[in-house]
Chains A and B, each alone.
Chain A
Amino acid sequence: MNRKVFLTLGTFAVLTLLTACSSATHSGGGTTPTLSIAITTAPASAVEINNNTMAAATVANDSTTAGVDWTCSPSPCGSFSPTHTASGAITTWTAPSSAGTFTLTAASTATSTATASSAVTVNSVASNSNLTGKYAFYLSGFDLSGDAYAAAGSVTLDGNGNVTSGEEDLNSTTFTSAIEGDTLTGTYTMNGDGQGTMTLNVSNSSGTDPLVGNNGVQTFSFVVVNSSHMLIIEFDSVYTSSGSMDLQTASTFNAGISGNFALSASGFIGGKPAAFGGVYTASSGTINGIGTADENLDGVTTIGGNLSGTMSAADANGRGTFTLSTPSGSGTFAYYIVGPEALFLTEIDTGGVTVGQSFGQGSGTFSASSLAGGNVLDEPAAFTAIGAANMAGQFASNASALNGVVDYNVNGVVDGLNPNPAITQPPTPEPLNGTKMITSSGYGSISVTVGGTSDFATYGIYATDPTVNINDPNNANGPGGALIVELDGGTLGTGFIVPQTATALSTINEADGFSGIVAILSPDEFLNSTGQFVYSSGSFSGTANINDFNLAAAPPADTENTAVPITGVITADTTNTGRYTVVVTLPVIGAGNSTNYRVQYVANGGFAVGVDTDTNEPGLTEIASEIIEGQQ
């Protein structure tokens, strides 16, 4: 085996040398050694678009030691950094943003006709053909009037850029009745980096439905994490929102779901913020959870209430309806089956604009020891008396206690409401300490103290199947976790806990979802984005589509920013392994700053969550959450 390897390497080296020598110019007489050049560090034979590979070339017999000049073809063919190297020194080639085969050429600076070359194949991260089948989606966000909306649906993608059919439910705080079961057709296109847009033509029984999207044309921006999972935003002039789109297992539609499930949902009920969650058993079209449901409606909490209801059969798109009684009342929801252990749901009754997810609990049982070990916690969208809030952190737990750190942003106040600390970047995380309780049904709670604030204290937790990935439900590798609902009188929201199985980002291509409320020199801008970047050695670069609604303008203004270049630096927190501080540089959006600060917590090599830690002191405030998923 070793002999074969050495033989192969030796042959490669000889061939490379021969190639280089054959293209070198013989510039001297019989006594002058011939200048020659050879690739001595070969670039990777294949890379993905926008990715980097290193190369070096060595010039022999160059008395001037002028070095090497690097070029590539055909154009556009990416870039070298640097374009000129000393003989034998490394240059880094960044592949272009389109696929193809490219030639990297090293030329002697002293004698430019002396060259050596290597071919590199540049592959797309994903293409239209990766998306085939039925995909369920959910979204929540705001319209250009500042009113909230939520949606869920299903699209059938043919792998050739066509949305051949689909179905959608959508409710808004401005609607007198929800939109139910609109039909969808359309198209989608994808860049080689996995980012794309999807245009949906939305119809009801009377024809085009003007209440969805821009007069019946709804545009999504998406980034592919893998062929089964995308992060999405609505990317048109009427709605901005964020969510997920996941491949459906159509074979489960007829059977429906059965077994034990965890659930959480949040949004607005009667114009007031609301969140609820729990665990329940689905069987023969009924839903029951006795003493395992929690609700927080406008700060009024019910803990240990009941869930009950009925569940209609799913249609050909995996859509059915729940009639669900929660502790404070009853509601009707459209659900879309992702698979036997995953549902997306959105409320479709008058007055309820909530969106949620429900995941199976599998055949396992739960105990106080569930979620023991390291975990990452994320509450991406919470409500407080002063505005939006979010929180992310990590903790270690045993059967009853938990300890860790968090970063939070309560309407622009980062990591400490009182007293009045000096604002520095990166911020120092706040301690998280508390207790945990989980019953055999997977229903439980955590009670925590978070430094610098009392806004985050009491949560209901609803454990999921340890083999289910609640952020990518078609990923069979788990690692489970729990849905959570905040049950405080002054703060409410939903989120999740996932086991922390690795503390470093190990994937190079990252899908990025970012959503939040941005207050700049002019006030509240509702902003959502999807993006893709290449991560390497602590820095990243990529692009994002950003849908920015400036609600302070008169009339409110929207800007759909396409392919915004984003770069940044990620620095590990050496004290809190798994926590990273991030400095993001991007062109000014609206009246904002070009430098933004975030904190990320890595749950595993390809998954991280974070909060924006910009504050209002420099004139920019973002109350935003971020999710990063490694592209596979």
Chain B
Amino acid sequence: MNKLLGGLWCLGLMSFVMVCEPAQSATVATPLYDVTKEVTLEGNVSIVEAFMPGHIPGGHMLVSTSKGIIDGHLGPYALSGKNRISVPTGAHVKIVGVMTTIRGNQVFLVRTIDTGATKYTIRSEHGFPLIQRAVQPTKGINFVSPKGGR
């Protein structure tokens, strides 16, 4: 009986080792949105377009900053649908995001836009575009469509 239990224990341990073998990690993807490189920029909005020919698809917001004009990429959802965000041309904004290079062009992946009156969160803290944009007129962030989640 003890032998049997011992055998089963070993078998169980072996099975555990087998099934719990982690996925190989020889290759590590480098996220386009590297949160460790997140910065805040400030400037005036010169153009807001849901599509700009010659640029990668998705909304774009050109912002004149002290470092020049930044091509802010807003992702596929921010300027689409009935819950699209509204940032007027000429508005003074603070934008938080990550500068990245795509096909030789610098693009600023915008995570939040703060107009002073309203703060929009259009990407998650890991850079994925949010299908439910968050609007922060007060202290708390309220999703346009309040949802739960895990």
Contacts and interface: CB of A to CB of B under 8 A. Distances in A.
A147 B80 CA distance: 9
Contact of A556 (B54, B82, B147, B150): B82
A194 to B, nearest CB: 33
A619 B52 CA distance: 9
Contact of A519 (B27, B57, B101): B57
Contacts of B84: 146
Interface in B46-80: 49-51, 53-59, 73, 75-77, 79-80
A517 interface: yes
A304 B23 contact: yes
A582 B31 CA distance: 31
A348 to B, nearest CB: 12
A632 B101 CA distance: 47
A146 B23 CA distance: 35
A272 B127 CA distance: 10
Interface in A382-413: 383-388, 411-413
A142 to B, nearest CB: 8
Contact of B81 (A297, A458, A556): A556
B76 A387 contact: yes
Contact of A488 (B20, B29, B53): B29
A269 interface: yes
Nearest to A329: B150
Interface of B is mostly: loop
Nearest to A439: B18
A162 B53 CA distance: 47
A419 B146 contact: no
B148 A351 contact: yes
Interface in A467-525: 487-492, 517, 519-524
Contacts of A517: 57, 76
A146 B25 contact: no
B150 A387 contact: no
Interface string A408-425: 000111001111110000
Contact of B58 (A269, A297, A387, A521): A387
A457 B27 contact: yes
Given A146-B81, A330-B150, A449 B104 contact: no
A386 B56 contact: yes
Contact of A418 (B50, B79, B104): B104
Contact of B103 (A173, A273, A294, A417): A417
Contact of B131 (A144, A147, A419): A147
B30 A616 contact: no
Contacts of A145: 81-83
A350 B147 contact: yes
A299 interface: yes
Given A413-B103, A491-B29, A447 B24 contact: yes
A145 B20 CA distance: 42
Contacts of A331: 150
B43 interface: no
Given A299-B127, A387-B58, A413 B102 contact: yes
Contact of A173 (B28, B50, B75, B131): B131
A146 B101 CA distance: 27
B80 A616 contact: no
A386 B98 CA distance: 11
Given A146-B77, A385-B109, A271 B27 contact: no
A552 B32 contact: no
A271 B29 contact: no
Interface in B119-148: 123-132, 143, 145-148
Nearest to A490: B31
Interface in B13-46: 16, 18-33
A521 B51 CA distance: 7
B103 to A, nearest CB: 4
A546 to B, nearest CB: 19
A523 to B, nearest CB: 3
A447 B103 contact: no
A572 interface: no
A379 to B, nearest CB: 13
Nearest to B28: A457
A417 B102 contact: yes
A291 interface: yes
B149 interface: yes
A524 B147 contact: no
| 4 smallest beta-carbon distances between A and B, as pairs | A270-B149, A146-B81, A490-B31, A329-B150
Interface of A: 144-148, 173-174, 176, 268-273, 290-292, 294, 297-300, 303-304, 326, 328-331, 349-352, 383-388, 411-413, 416-421, 434-435, 437, 439-441, 443-449, 454-460, 487-492, 517, 519-524, 551-552, 555-556, 616-617, 619, 621, 623
Given A298-B125, A387-B58, 6 more contacts: A351-B147, A411-B56, A443-B19, A460-B23, A492-B128, A616-B54
